[in-house]
Structure 1
Amino acid sequence: MRLIVVGTGGMAKNHVEHFARIPGVEIVGAVDTDATRLTAFCDTFDIKKRFLSLDEALAWGEFDAVTNVTPDKAHHPTTLPLLAAGKHVLCEKPLAENHEKALEMTEAAERAGVVNMVNLTYRNVAQLQKAREMVISGEIGTVKHVEASYLQSWLVSRAWGDWRSESKWLWRLSTGHGSNGVLGDIGIHILDFAAYGAATDIDHVFARLKTFAKAPGERIGEYTLDANDSFSMSVDFANGALGVVHASRWATGHLNELKLRIYGERGGLEVTHSPNGSELRGCLGDDTETATWKVIEVPPVPTNYERFADAVMTGSSQDPSFRHAANLQRVLDLAMVTETERRELKV
């Protein structure tokens, strides 16, 4: 598989490092409109072909697949011409800024008949995959209640950098710079974590969003700090279960933690993922009588990068697909509407 990288910002490094370890994958080029960034990136990873526009790369055309690591608002305009050219695409999340654009990308990919995946990175968590298997196999019975959270603390900690002075964080706080806040940035991750782990889709949503004061006049330089910092969401799942989902960048003491609790009529499961590792615990069988939780050991699973490469090389399809990501984007879009209208909406 001959692969090019579109967008050479921070996340591109992770993509290249993962793909470089996969047998049969050759990284043959990179695209970025910033010449300095492009040169530094390609020099670091010894990438020969360098393009300052996507049109240049498409005119060259000697590649099979693309990993699209451009900023959120660039996913739509960069992915569509790639699909039209018949290229397989792994796109960073979210697929697009809104459901309308995400659906257009989905339908274009399906018409083109190419492999299309979205890098919802927490699908790489083996414990989440195992929890889903256990739910599907009926080990905890019918799921009744789901609780999911995504907690970050970079608004109260400098562990990842200083949001007050660094553009890579400030843009995430500004709607004018393409951010939909914590809902758009990590909301898609925790919704996927919850729905995938519980093996059921979300079909009703009601959300509350909150933007907290952070600076004088709520502005730092060119950035107006108006994007939401926290959200809480009540959801109904297609299987009848009730769910509570929330996320915040103000979660002191939690650098980057996802947690999922799935409660069924015969048992419960808890998945925790943080920089320190991942864990799956279960309260099953006779242990439900004593509320005893035990760690469940789980073997590694293929990463999204490995599954994308396998899909391209074998001609198979893999999840999470563009359509799945578009469906999640619809939930996010409706969540914004429910905040404004203060009412539940059907997905």
Structure 2
Amino acid sequence: MRLLVLGTGVMAKNQLRHFAHMDGVEVVGAVDTDPDRLKLFADEFGIEKRFLTLNDAIAWGDFDAATNVTPDRIHHPTTMALIAAGKHVLCEKPLAENYPKALEMTEAAEAAGVVNMVNLTYRNVAPLQRAREMVLAGELGTIKHVEASYLQSWLVSRAWGDWRTESTWLWRLSTGHGSNGVLGDVGIHILDFAAYGAATDIDHVFARLKTFNKAPGGQIGEYLLDANDSFTMSVDFANGALGVIHATRWATGHLNELKLRIYGERGSLEVIHRPNGSQLRGCLGENIESATWRDIEVAPVPTNYQRFAKAVMSGVQPDPNFRHAANLQKVIDLAMITERERRELKV
């Protein structure tokens, strides 16, 4: 697979640390509108072909697939151009700023017959994959209740950088710069974490969003800090279970933690993922009576990057595909409407 990298920021570097060491994968080109950033990136990873526009890269055309690591609002036009050129696409999340654009991308990719995949990073968490297997195997019985949270602290900690001075973080706080806040940024991750792990889809949603004051006048330079910082969401799942999902950037003491609890009539599971590792625990069988939780061993799983490369080489469409990500975007769009109208909506 000859791969083009579109966008050369922090996430692109993370991706290249995977792709650069895969058998059968050659990173042949990079695109960025910032020439200095492009040069630094391409020099670091030994990439010969460098383009300041996607149009120039497509005109060159000597690549099979692209990984789209541009800001959220750029995903739609750039992915549509890649699909029109017949290129396979791995797109960062969220697929688009809204459901209509995400659906347009989905239908275009399906019509073109190109491999399409969204980098929902936490599908790489092996305990999540194992939890889903156990749910599907009936080990928990009928699922009754689901809790999921995504906790970050970068608004109260400089561990990942200073959001007050760095554009890398500031744009994520401003709707005018293409951000839908914590709901649009990591909401798609925790929605997928919950629904995938519980092996069901979200059927109804009601959400509350909150934007806290972070600077005098709610603005830093050109950035109006109006995107949501926290959300809480109650959901009904298609299998009849009730769910509570929430996320925030104000979770002091939690750098980046995802947690999922799945409660069934015959047992329960807990998945925890933090930067230093992941864990699966269960309360099953006779342990239900004493409320004893035990660690469950989990085998490694292929990464999204490995599965995308395999899909391009084999021609077999992988999951999570564009349609799945578009459906999650629909939930996010409806969640924003429920905040404004204060009413539950059916997905």
**Does TM-score exceed 0.5, indicating one fold?**
yes
For 1:19 and 1:133, how far apart are their aligned partners in 2?
27
Query: Match for residue 253 of structure 1?
Result: 253
- How many Å apart are 1:150 and its aligned residue? 0.2
| Within-5 A mapping of 1:234-313 | 234-313=234-313
Provide, for residues 109-159 of structure 1, a one-character-per-residue CA deviation record: whole Å limited to 9, x for no partner. Answer: 000101100000000000000000000000000100000000001111111
For 1:223 and 1:59, how far apart are their aligned partners in 2?
35
In structure 2, give the amino acid aligned to 1:270.
E
For 2:254 and 2:122, how far apart are their aligned partners in 1?
17
- How many Å apart are 1:104 and its aligned residue? 0.1
| Residue 93 (str. 1) matches residue 93 (str. 2) | yes
The runs of 5 or more residues in structure 1 that have no matched partner are none
For 1:292 and 1:262, how far apart are their aligned partners in 2?
15
Q: Secondary structure at the match of 2:205?
A: strand
For 1:158 and 1:4, how far apart are their aligned partners in 2?
32
Query: Match for residue 215 of structure 1?
Result: 215
Query: Match for residue 112 of structure 1?
Result: 112
| Residue 151 (str. 1) matches residue 178 (str. 2) | no
Query: Match for residue 168 of structure 1?
Result: 168
For 2:81 and 2:225, how far apart are their aligned partners in 1?
33
- How many Å apart are 1:213 and its aligned residue? 1.1
Q: Secondary structure at the match of 1:270?
A: strand
- How many Å apart are 1:328 and its aligned residue? 0.1
Query: Match for residue 12 of structure 2?
Result: 12
Query: Match for residue 136 of structure 2?
Result: 136
For 1:37 and 1:294, how far apart are their aligned partners in 2?
47
Q: Secondary structure at the match of 2:246?
A: strand
Q: Secondary structure at the match of 1:283?
A: strand
Q: Secondary structure at the match of 1:138?
A: coil
| Residue 123 (str. 1) matches residue 126 (str. 2) | no
RMSD across aligned C-alpha pairs, in angstroms?
0.6
TM-score (norm 1): 0.99
Provide, for residues 228-286 of structure 1, a one-character-per-residue CA deviation record: whole Å limited to 9, x for no partner. Answer: 00000000000000000000000011000000000001000000000121000000011
For 2:142 and 2:114, how far apart are their aligned partners in 1?
36
In structure 2, give the amino acid aligned to 1:124.
N
Query: Match for residue 182 of structure 1?
Result: 182
Query: Match for residue 333 of structure 1?
Result: 333
For 2:58 and 2:88, how far apart are their aligned partners in 1?
13
For 1:317 and 1:137, how far apart are their aligned partners in 2?
24
For 1:252 and 1:344, how far apart are their aligned partners in 2?
30
Q: Secondary structure at the match of 2:286?
A: helix
Query: Match for residue 324 of structure 1?
Result: 324
- How many Å apart are 1:299 and its aligned residue? 1.1
For 1:15 and 1:79, how far apart are their aligned partners in 2?
17
- How many Å apart are 1:297 and its aligned residue? 0.7
For 1:160 and 1:45, how far apart are their aligned partners in 2?
23
- How many Å apart are 1:21 and its aligned residue? 1.5
Moved beyond 6 Å, runs of 4+: none
For 2:177 and 2:23, how far apart are their aligned partners in 1?
38
- How many Å apart are 1:84 and its aligned residue? 1.0
| Residue 233 (str. 1) matches residue 229 (str. 2) | no
The runs of 5 or more residues in structure 2 that have no matched partner are none
TM-score (norm 2): 0.99
In structure 2, give the amino acid aligned to 1:298.
V
Provide, for residues 32-73 of structure 1, a one-character-per-residue CA deviation record: whole Å limited to 9, x for no partner. Answer: 111111111101110001111111111111110000001100
Deviates more, 1:214-223 or 1:126-135: 214-223
Provide, for residues 298-335 of structure 1, a one-character-per-residue CA deviation record: whole Å limited to 9, x for no partner. Answer: 01100000000000111111100000000000000000
| Residue 47 (str. 1) matches residue 52 (str. 2) | no
Aligned length: 347
For 2:81 and 2:159, how far apart are their aligned partners in 1?
38
Query: Match for residue 202 of structure 2?
Result: 202
- How many Å apart are 1:97 and its aligned residue? 0.3
Deviates more, 1:164-173 or 1:335-344: 164-173
For 2:207 and 2:303, how far apart are their aligned partners in 1?
31
